[in-house]
Amino acid sequence: MSRHTLAPAPSAAARPGVADPRRRPGILLLAALLLGSAAALTLTVRADVVNPPFQAADDRWLEWMGGPHEGFPAAVAAVLNWFGGPLGAVVPLALLAFLLVRRRWVSAGFLLGVYLLGSMLVVQGLKHLVDRPRPANPMVRVDHGSFPSGHAAGAALLVVLVGVLLIPAARRRAWWIGGAVFTLAMMWSRTWLHAHWLSDTVAGAAAGAGAALLAWWAFSPALAREPAREGGRARSRSRDGLPRPTP
């Protein structure tokens, strides 16, 4: 005669996309440093959009990105430019659909709010506030305002959102390293294509990552309670007649 017992629910740390219920001060500190850096760059550039104090460094970096613009680097830059454009909206929308299908309502709301606030309001607001001229002769189609880089901001923001919502805590260190490499590659591609100054990409990445980290710190308890409720519902269904057999 087989026995039926309830399988223990996986711990929060073992489930992907579960936030720590505690508001970790390290996350808040890192978010403050990144947002503070972005704010300092914003105020500095806005004071003199044509010749900020670090314009010489931006000019030197742009010289290093002079070319030749062909071969493998051109292919990588083209892919990253496309990813930060049309595909940059497809990936968050696909992630949002996944969360809605899984009925992770809190995570879906968190994703939508942070993405709209970070990518749309913060980046576009700073572009209109600063309105810095772009480098001459960009190699791709660009809109107004060079500062900050929307591609760099979107890349950093997406790295944090995916890490928080989909990656198990035990594997996040590898994800953060890979995400940092991806964000740096995006920053390089924007300067290599002469679409942005180097300082534009630094400010964009700092603003995007900082905004996402600040939101993560603020909503960690709510995000952690969501999987706990899912686990409770699963255990209730088991008690109602759908136990999982164990040897």
Four-residue CA torsion sign, 237, 239, 242, 245: positive
DSSP state of 171: G
For 217-239, what is each residue's pLDDT tens digit?
999 999 988 865 554 444 444 44
Q: What is the pLDDT of residue 240?
A: 46
> Which domain range does residue 114 map to?
21-42+84-225
Which candidate, 233, 231, 238, places its Cα nearest to that of 12?
A: 231
Q: What is the pLDDT of residue 176?
A: 96
What CA–CA distance (Å, rounded) separates 94 from 72? 29
Flag whether 13 is in a domain: no
Flag whether 247 is in a domain: no
Flag whether 28 is in a domain: yes
* Enclosing H/E stretch for 15: none
User: Of all residues in the chain, what percent carry a pLDDT higher than 70?
Assistant: 83
The mean per-residue pLDDT over the stretch 82-88 comes to 79
Q: What is the pLDDT of residue 116?
A: 84
Flag whether 145 is in a domain: yes
Q: Is the omega angle on the peptide bond into residue 138 within 30 degrees of 0, that is, cis?
A: no
Please identify which residue in the block is written with the tokens 């572009």. Answer: 127
Overall number of domains in the chain: 1
pTM (predicted TM-score): 0.82
Higher pLDDT, 5 or 150: 150
What CA–CA distance (Å, rounded) separates 94 from 96? 5
Q: No. of H helices and E strands in the chain? A: 9, 0
Flag whether 243 is in a domain: no
| Band (6; pLDDT cuts 50, 70, 90) | very low
| pLDDT over threshold 60, residue 206 | yes
Please identify which residue in the block is written with the tokens 């600063």. Answer: 130
Copy the structure tokens of residue 18: 């579960």
Q: Give SS3 for 7.
A: coil
Q: What is the pLDDT of residue 234?
A: 46
Flag whether 75 is in a domain: no
Q: What is the pLDDT of residue 90?
A: 86
Flag whether 58 is in a domain: no
Is the Cβ–Cβ distance between 182 and 158 less than 8 Å? no
Flag whether 232 is in a domain: no
DSSP state of 242: -
